[in-house]
Amino acid sequence: MSIKVIIAGFKGKMGQAAYKMVTEDPELTLVGLLDPFTAEKEVAGVPVFNAKEELTGLQADVWIDFTTPKVAYENTRFALENSFAPVVGTTGFTHDQIEELTELSRQKGLGGLIAPNFALGAVLLMQFAAQAAKYFPDVEIIELHHDNKKDAPSGTAIKTAELISHVRTSKQQGAADEEESLAGARGAMFDGMRIHSVRLPGLVAHQEVIFGSQGEGLTLRHDSYDRISFMTGVNLGIKEVVKRSELVYGLEHLL
Ligand code: NAP
């Protein structure tokens, strides 16, 4: 049976990649598109809505969300309340929001996925980083994205830092008496680790995790050169969430 899918943010860069992936997969049927600003009423026979409330009562199984950090929490809540299993790539969720949404999914008995990164290589990079941090506790993260990205640091960088902080003893890095002569020079701080955000035209989504130790260094790097790199994960997410009864944070939980 075909899985009925809604795409929120379908006019965006990721939304367009998701549109192509969904319409090319015979196991998926697109039943609704959401964009608050478009004047289009339908795209290839699929209705377009300008407000999420207009989707209430639509027969759909999955809500794909590639919108903006400002609306993603409310969208995901709305999806769960209306029995659409969310597959969310939009970043910028707080820890508390993820907890709240997970609890709501349990109450509704609905599967769901919030994934800061849908690229399989990025998921592997995060796992390798957590493995390496057991032996190399001194680490800095550099994430690099296109210059239209709204949130910083990236959701992937935060998730990587969280995974590392689960396996290493909390420590403050750098010299105890270090000083910034220009504010922000040492980057953002997460549990003693530094995260640096680069924004440049031409980039898509990239991350380096750099470990340093006595006389040696280790660098892990992942590059998404094209948004197609995220679509295998989104497709897998859609097909998995409909079988589950709880929302998870991170694609690795569905692999
Ligand atoms: P984008 O090109 O700016 O697309 C976002 C789209 O959402 C825009 O078309 C925007 O419309 C629309 N939008 C704004 N408010 C909305 C609302 N209330 N309802 C529905 N749509 C709304 O950004 P993008 O590059 O596609 O990225 C989207 C999100 O995905 C970002 O948070 C980004 O960090 C994340 N991302 C995740 C992954 C992953 O693997 N998880 C990978 C890449 C990106 P306007 O432009 O008219 O405001």
One domain for residues 190 and 212? yes
One domain for residues 109 and 169? no
Mutate to test the pocket of ligand 1, among 13, 14, 54, 124 (most ligand atoms within 8 A of CB): 14
Q: Residue 250: its pLDDT value, please?
A: 94
One domain for residues 210 and 151? yes
Number of domains observed in the structure of the chain: 2
One domain for residues 166 and 214? yes
Q: Residue 169: its pLDDT value, please?
A: 87
Atom of ligand 1 nearest to the CA of 146: 25
Structural domain harbouring 27:
3-114+228-253
Mutate to test the pocket of ligand 1, among 54, 64, 68, 158 (most ligand atoms within 8 A of CB): 68
> Which token pair is 93?
């969720």
One domain for residues 239 and 169? no
One domain for residues 144 and 163? yes
pLDDT category at 186 given cuts 50, 70, 90 is very high
Q: The whole model's pTM is what?
A: 0.90
Summarised one tens digit per residue, pLDDT across range 16-32 is 999 999 999 999 999 99
pLDDT higher at 92 or 51: 51
Under 8 Å between Cβ of 158 and 77: no
One domain for residues 96 and 140? no
Question: Torsions phi, psi of 141, nearest 5?
Answer: -115, 130
90 lines ligand 1 (CB under 6 A): yes
pLDDT category at 172 given cuts 50, 70, 90 is confident
Question: Torsions phi, psi of 106, nearest 5?
Answer: -65, -45
One domain for residues 150 and 193? yes
Find how far residue 48's CA is from the centre of its chain: 24
What is the rounded CA–CA span in Å between residue 73 and residue 182?
Answer: 34
One domain for residues 197 and 160? yes
230 lines ligand 1 (CB under 6 A): yes
Q: Residue 225: its pLDDT value, please?
A: 97
- Averaged confidence pLDDT in the chain: 96
Pairing relation of β-strands 216-224 and 205-213?
antiparallel
One domain for residues 109 and 189? no
**Which of 30, 90, 79 has the alpha carbon at shortest distance from 55?**
79
Q: Residue 3: its pLDDT value, please?
A: 98
CATH number, domain with residue 21:
3.40.50.720
pLDDT surpassing 90 at residue 204: yes
Which residues does the annotation mark as catalytic?
145, 149
CATH number, domain with residue 208:
3.30.360.10
159: left (phi over 0), alpha (psi -120 to 50) or beta: alpha
- Mean pLDDT, to the nearest integer, of 126-135? 96
One domain for residues 202 and 247? no
- Cα(180) to ligand 1 centroid in Å equals 34
Under 8 Å between Cβ of 112 and 84: no
Name the closest-CA residue to atom 28, ligand 1: 66
One domain for residues 216 and 240? no
pLDDT category at 93 given cuts 50, 70, 90 is very high
Q: Can you tell me which residue has the tokens 């079988």?
A: 243
Q: Where are the beta strands (DSSP E) in the chain?
A: 3-8, 28-34, 42-43, 46-49, 62-65, 85-88, 112-114, 139-145, 188-190, 193-199, 205-213, 216-224, 247-249
> Which token pair is 232?
């295998």
pLDDT surpassing 90 at residue 255: no
Under 8 Å between Cβ of 110 and 168: no
